[in-house]
Amino acid sequence: MEASTSFKQDLLLREYGRNVQDLVNYISKVEDRSERTRLSQLLINLMAKLNPQLRDTQDYQQKLWNHLFVMSGSTLDVDSPYPLSAMEYLNDKPQRMEYATETPRFKHYGTNVELLIEKATELEDEKEREAAIVSIGKLMKTLYRSYNKDSITDDIIMNDIRQLSKGKLNLDQSLIENNNLFESNIGGGGRQQDTQQRSQQQNRGGDNRGRKPQRSSSNQRNK
């Protein structure tokens, strides 16, 4: 059995479905212009219910009429309240998206860190520059720990900053280490927390070692 010609026809706007497309085809064949206009207005009301999200856009009524015009193959001749347009953008190819072609020098820091360092090198005020180095160092240390799950020393962070800034950013190493300038309180990371965790583990291990003799002594009493 051969399928009907209306079923074979491609849908111009799939969001409205086959039945709406068939109605558009029927309206386009009506000879009386006033009757075509009346039927088109009724169909516009139906299309608004089938595509309710369109109401949130600007001039949605005009867009509905344009959709009707498109589904008619740009041949609908009615007394429309708006100038009908075939909306050429429907046939336009999507614009090519631009992707980053440059790979960051240190993947665990990412491109944004390199951009921050570049901006910091442009600072003329010495205090602002030092504050920028500290903020970037904290960020780099957090990113490194998230990426590698290992500890990293402040001198490595500072050395990476020097490399990425091509020697334009520098801060005294002893000042950084004595004041823990690269330690961030965000996320609970830091040298002090690592020390506390190791201390807690040792205490738990000591408690376990203390319990073993008690169990052995109770066994001896039972014997």
Separation CA 61–CA 64 (nearest Å): 5
Q: Which of helix, strand or coil describes residue 145?
A: helix
User: Is the CB of residue 143 less than 8 Å from the CB of residue 110?
Assistant: yes
Q: Which of 28-37, 61-70, 99-108 has the lowest mean pLDDT?
A: 99-108
Q: Which of 28-37, 69-78, 102-111, 193-202 has the lowest mean pLDDT?
A: 193-202
35-39 average pLDDT score: 93
Separation CA 196–CA 213 (nearest Å): 27
Measured in degrees and rounded to the nearest 5, phi and psi for residue 58 equal -75, 140
Span 189-220, pLDDT tens digits: 444 444 444 444 455 554 444 444 445 444 44
Residue from 105, 106, 131 nearest 120 by CA: 131
User: The pTM is what?
Assistant: 0.42
Q: Which of 85-99, 125-139, 167-181, 182-196 has the lowest mean pLDDT?
A: 182-196
Span 134-143, pLDDT tens digits: 999 999 988 8
Residue 106 has pLDDT above 90, yes or no: no
Domain boundary assignment for the chain: 8-89, 111-185
Residue from 112, 127, 184 nearest 154 by CA: 184
CA distances 3 to 8, 17, 72, Å, are 7, 17, 21
